Structure formats: structure tokens, C-alpha cells
């Protein structure tokens, strides 16, 4: 029994040493004279869903095309805006036929074209940036 207690005590001490963290103390005076600065944000561009044929729910996956236009995925929308934030086109057309999307997985730009990868059904579609579907 005595060996068992010693073993438990050794394991306990080893485990506390492994879980221990180093304590880092902040210096009285920060090494950088500008350490407590406050950054001011400057708005560069605002994209809104006002006066559009869409409304934002969960905007994500924002990418800039080679021509400077801005693409954004939001649920069943794949929206294109010009470089000033003005709405141009929605590439998402619900369905399973040619040029139609059920679930968008990702999209990329290559050689001036928009390539959309979908799931369920899995397919890869190519569009010209003018929004016309490229049949292959």
C-alpha cells in the first residue's frame, strides 16, 4: 500500500509540473513609448444591401477578381459588385441543371473567368465575368 501511495504522489507531482505555466510580469514602464496607442479605422468602401435585389444574411468568402470587382457569398447568393461597391450581378441560380447551383463549396478566378465548385451534386462550372455560363 505504501508503494501505491508513493506512486500516486509522484504522478501527482509530475502532472502538476507539466501543467504549470510560466508567469510573465509586465514591466512598470512599457518598452515601447507608443504601447498604449489607439488605432483609428478609416472606412475605404461600404457595400450595402440597400436598393439591391438581395439582402445580406451571413456574408462571407469575400474575394477580389482580377478586374477589381468584388465577389461575396451569402447563403444562396454569389454577388458581384464593382470596385466602388455597386451591385452588378448574382451568379447563384438555384437548381441542378447547367449553370445552376444547389450548394456552393468555393469559387476561384482563373484567366479572366469565374470557376465555381459546387457540392450535391458535385460539379465545376466556368463563367465569364460577364455572367454568361461557359459550356464545356
pLDDT digits (tens, 9 = 90+) for 72-130: 998 888 999 988 888 888 888 888 888 788 888 999 999 888 999 988 788 898 888 87
Tally of domains in the chain? 1
For residue 20, what are the contacts with CB-CB under 8 A and spacing of at least 6? Answer: none
Instruction: Determine what percent of the chain is predicted with pLDDT higher than 90.
Output: 14
Query: Which CA distances in Å does 108 have to 73, 119, 127?
Result: 12, 15, 11
Strand (E) positions, 1-112? 60-64, 70-74, 77-81, 87-90, 103-110
Is residue 77 assigned to a domain? yes
Is residue 42 assigned to a domain? no
For residue 48, what are the contacts with CB-CB under 8 A and spacing of at least 6? Answer: 85
Is residue 36 assigned to a domain? no
Nearest to 87 by CA among 54, 60, 45: 54
CATH code of 109's domain: 2.40.10
Is the pTM higher than 0.85? The answer reads no
> Is the pLDDT at 71 greater than 90, yes or no?
yes
Q: Give the separation between CA 1 and CA 103, rounded to whole angstroms.
A: 63
For residue 104, the enclosing domain spans: 60-134
Is residue 17 assigned to a domain? no
List the grid coordinates of 24. 510573465
* Exposed/middle/buried for residue 49 (C-beta within 10 Å: 0-12, 13-18, 19+): middle
Residue 70 confidence class, pLDDT cut points 50, 70, 90: very high
pLDDT: which is higher, 131 or 108: 108
Residue 28 confidence class, pLDDT cut points 50, 70, 90: confident
Is residue 91 assigned to a domain? yes
List the grid coordinates of 97. 441543371
Amino acid at each position: 500500500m505504501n508503494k501505491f501511495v508513493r506512486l500516486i504522489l509522484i504522478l501527482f507531482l509530475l502532472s502538476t509540473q507539466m501543467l504549470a505555466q510560466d508567469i510573465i510580469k509586465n514591466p512598470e514602464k512599457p518598452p515601447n513609448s507608443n504601447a498604449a496607442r489607439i488605432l483609428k479605422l478609416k472606412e475605404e468602401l461600404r457595400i450595402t444591401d440597400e436598393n439591391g435585389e438581395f439582402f445580406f444574411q451571413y456574408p462571407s468568402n469575400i474575394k477580389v477578381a482580377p478586374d477589381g470587382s468584388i465577389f461575396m457569398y451569402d447563403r444562396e447568393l454569389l454577388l458581384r459588385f464593382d470596385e466602388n461597391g455597386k451591385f452588378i450581378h448574382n451568379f447563384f441560380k438555384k437548381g441542378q441543371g447547367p449553370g445552376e447551383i444547389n450548394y456552393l463549396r468555393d469559387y476561384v478566378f482563373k484567366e479572366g473567368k469565374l470557376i465555381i465548385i459546387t457540392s450535391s451534386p458535385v460539379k465545376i462550372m466556368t463563367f465569364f465575368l460577364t455572367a454568361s455560363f461557359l459550356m464545356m
